[in-house]
Amino acid sequence: MGAFPRDGITWPPPAVSPSAPAAASSAAPSVDPTATPSLDPTTPAILPAPTDAPLIGDSLQAQPPWLAVIVLGLVFALTALGIARWIVEKARARNGRADLDAHHTVHWDGDPSAYSPGSPGPLDWPLAAGAVFSICQGSPWNRLRSTAVEQCRAGLVEAWGVRTRAELLATLHWLLTEGHRYPYGNQRDAWLALDPAAARAEEERLTGLAAGPDGRGSPAGAEELWRFRRVRARSRGIDRADFTAWDLLRLVMLARSGATVGHLSDDEARDLLLMVAPELRAAYTGWTDLGGQFMLARWYWNGMGGEAGRASDVHDAHALTALQAPPAGPWARVPWEAPSPPSRLMLVDALLAEELITPLTASEAADAGPWELALDAAVNERLGRHRQW
């Protein structure tokens, strides 16, 4: 406990004549240095003069005995309730941590101690990158096909609306050529460029969208408003976020799920993983950077605050820790520079067979991104034709 403040208090106190106010005295007061300091509680600037107001204990004694019993009972009940809540919260934290430890246990296909970082397999790098998803399935990270077959099937249908091979191929093409990284990046940059007046007008517009046309609220509008406010506040460095990992690691997950449920051959799935490995490695500086940017984009996509947002943050941080923790974490074992063979762009053959891709026109090519142009070159090569633009 800190010392009681004494600023402004003179000790011993000056002698004051009872016949004249202290302010009228011009002579220095005479003080006997040998005198014992007075402990009179009415001394000015120390404590106010006592009053006849009863103390708390006196107040209780002045009341009927049953009232004192009730008050004391309430005090004890509230104290016990606070202790009980503290015990429950501690138990929840321990149980939550135990649940996450079990949920994020890293599984290997084979003995982890036998793995040699000096001679990684051709798929080790993209499989390790995709472990951000496989770690939550309880499936070995270094297997192409997941052991959680029904979980993969349900995820494709419920989260992606994918029930057929053609639907999966179209989704993979979208993730590769567009995904969220372009619309999210363009929207973020536009919001950051707003001056204060335009930003207020945009927030008012988004607030109206969040309220919904009937005033009952719009989840999509609320997420958009949440993102706008996070961008304007530059929360968590979202103004500098790179959304590449968010799209391409989801592509890795879908390729593995597609092979697991039979929508893709193993060769097609392997080739898809090899397609995205070079771009991911070029976009980030290491496993920590890759994981951090992926989880930042996931936070932005979730569009959640409050308890749900905090729970998601705890989950994601725990997953990244498990992926990087030796000796089982794949990011602690697979070198960032582990080589991968080039892709054969087998996705192009699959898209052509399903009639899901055609050569770009000149106007389409003018607005095309790097992957669209690369796929278009492969399409024209397979069709034995030259580009018309």
pLDDT for residue 58: 54
Cα separation of 42 and 100, whole Å?
Answer: 62
- Read out DSSP for 164-212? SHHHHHHHHHHHHHTTTHHHHHHHHHHHHT--HHHHHHHHHHHHHHHH-
CA distance 56 to 209: 55
What's the total number of domains in the chain?
2
> Is residue 233 domain-shared with residue 306, that is, in the same domain?
no
What pTM did the predictor assign? 0.75
284 and 329 belong to one structural domain: yes
Domain finish residue from 226, 242, 258:
242
CA gap 256, 153 in Å, rounded = 11
Residue type, 33: P
Q: Give phi and psi for 285, each to the nearest 5.
A: -95, -15
Does residue 214 lie within any of the structural domains? yes
Q: Are residues 157 and 142 in the same domain?
A: yes
What does the pLDDT look like over 34-66, one tens digit per residue? 444 444 444 444 444 555 555 445 555 556 666
Are residues 193 and 313 part of one domain? no
- Of 127, 71, 155, the residue nearest 331 (C-alpha): 127
Same domain, 280 and 254: yes
User: How far is residue 99 CA from its own chain's centroid?
Assistant: 18
- Number of neighbouring beta carbons within 10 Å of residue 309: 14
142, 108 contact by CB (below 8 A): yes
Same domain (yes/no): 331, 185: no
In this structure, is residue 206 part of a structural domain?
Answer: yes
- In which residue are the tokens 């006849």 written? 52
**Euclidean distance between CA atoms 361 and 90, whole angstroms:** 62
91: phi then psi, degrees, rounded to nearest 5 = -65, -40
Query: Which residues in 182-325 belong to E strands, given as ranges?
Result: none
In residues, how long is the chain?
Answer: 389
User: Are 122 and 131 spatial neighbours (Cβ–Cβ below 8 Å)?
Assistant: no
User: Which domain-ending residue is among 208, 226, 242?
Assistant: 242
Contact 45, 16 (CB under 8 A): no
What does residue 243 show for φ and ψ, rounded to 5 degrees? Answer: -90, 5
Structural contact between residues 105 and 330, judged by C-beta atoms closer than 8 angstroms: no
Which tokens sit at 114?
Answer: 């036998």
Domain containing 144 equals 101-180+244-341
* CA pair distance 209, 220, nearest whole angstrom: 8
Would residue 229 count as lying in a domain? Answer: yes
Closest CA to 271 of 343, 195, 329: 343
* Identity of residue 231: V
Are 135 and 236 in the same domain? no
- For residue 162, give every residue at least 6 positions away whose Cβ sits within 8 Å of its Cβ, in sequence order, or none: 156, 168, 171, 254, 263
- Residue 357, C-beta contacts closer than 8 angstroms, at least 6 positions apart: 173, 348, 351, 375, 379
In a domain, 373, yes or no: no
**Could you give phi then psi for residue 122, rounded to 5 degrees?**
-65, -25
Task: Let me know whether 188 and 334 are in one domain.
Answer: no
User: Residue 375 domain-assigned?
Assistant: no
123 in any annotated domain: yes
Please give the pLDDT value at position 98: 76
Shared domain check, 225 and 142:
no
pLDDT in tens, 124-133: 999 999 999 9
159 in a structural domain:
yes
Is the domain of 169 the same as that of 248? yes
Q: In terms of domains, do 232 and 257 share one? A: no
**117 and 262 in a common domain:** yes
Within-domain flag for 72: no
pLDDT beneath 50: ranges in the chain: 1-48, 55-56, 84, 86-88, 91-92
